[in-house]
Chain A
Amino acid sequence: QLQLQESGPGLVKPSETLSLTCTVSGGSISSSSYYWGWIRQPPGKGLEWVATIYYSGSTYYSPSLKSRVTMSIDTSKNQFSLKLSSVTAADTAVYYCARHIDYYYYYMDVWGKGTTVTVSS
């Protein structure tokens, strides 16, 4: 059964870079049928798409975050990663990694448990 697990620092200082990794187990990240994304959820709020990547390395970023986001993928480790620069308190959220079906903007059928990131000095 496919599982996704997020990892990374739970506390990031303002103006610094948030770095997270998602490790995929129980299946290959190199499948041509899927895309791999990050979704975040600020405390008590709704869901927001951050970015998505394909196994080939093609990346797709939310227009509202595009200037600060970088995604990468390591197929040898079955992992993909997110970097969000110049963070502020508004970036405090639970960050989920998830699998998209067929295309990078399609629905997500498998999600990680999420990791809480707090931006504070």
Chain B
Amino acid sequence: DIVMTQSPDSLAVSLGERATINCKSSQSVLYSSNNKNYLAWYQQKPGQPPKLLIYWASTRESGVPDRFSGSGSGTDFTLTISSLQAEDVAVYFCQQYYSTAFTFGPGTKVDIK
């Protein structure tokens, strides 16, 4: 199985400031034949299901605010919230779908400082 790790476990950021979440895979999720990274990001607010934010590591899902962006390649990825809003308080998960047994990271909790 591809093991996903995330850092930090939690972070607190002031409103309007940048939040950065890291995700690392135990092996590369970059498929060389199409040069795509098989990596997605989800946001989960308390009591709600996960919501897809980013796929193919950097493609924003329709309707997701442009303050959310994804970057990285191979084994190291980043989700950036450029200007944190109150409604962004949530847990964020990365997911690899390179392997048919897809797996999630443990999550990073984002709070307001």
A residues apposed to B, CB below 8 Å: 46-49, 60, 62-63, 96, 98, 101, 103-109, 111-114
Cβ B101 vs Cβ A96 within 8 A:
no
Shortest distance from the beta carbon of B61 to any chain A beta carbon, whole Å: 7
Query: What residues of A have a CB within 8 angstroms of the CB of B40 in the complex?
Result: 107
Residue of B nearest to A49 (CB): B102
Shortest distance from the beta carbon of A96 to any chain B beta carbon, whole Å: 5
Given known pairs A46-B93, A46-B107, A47-B93, the reply for A105 and B102 (CB within 8 Å) is: yes
A45 to B25, CA, bound (A): 19
Query: What residues of B have a CB within 8 angstroms of the CB of A60 in the complex?
Result: 100
A107 to B100, CA, bound (A): 11
Residue B99 CB within 8 A of the other chain: yes
Q: 23 pairs across A/B with beta carbons < 8 Å?
A: A46-B105, A47-B50, A47-B104, A48-B104, A49-B101, A49-B102, A49-B103, A62-B101, A63-B101, A96-B49, A96-B50, A105-B97, A105-B100, A105-B101, A106-B38, A107-B52, A107-B55, A107-B95, A108-B50, A109-B52, A111-B49, A111-B50, A113-B49
A35 to B101, CA, bound (A): 14
Residue B18 CB within 8 A of the other chain: no
Main secondary structure of the interface of A (DSSP, over half): loop
Chain B count of residues within 8 A CB distance of the other chain? 21
Residue B72 CB within 8 A of the other chain: no
Query: What residues of B have a CB within 8 angstroms of the CB of A98 in the complex?
Result: 49
Shortest distance from the beta carbon of A30 to any chain B beta carbon, whole Å: 22
Residue of B nearest to A61 (CB): B101
Query: What residues of B have a CB within 8 angstroms of the CB of A114 in the complex?
Result: 49
Shortest distance from the beta carbon of B57 to any chain A beta carbon, whole Å: 11
| Residue from A103, A104, A105, A111 in contact with B51 in the complex, judged by beta carbons closer than 8 Å | A111
Cβ A105 vs Cβ B61 within 8 A:
no
Mark each residue of chain B from 88 to 113: 1 if its CB lies under 8 Å from any CB of chain A, else 0. Answer: 00000101010111111111000000
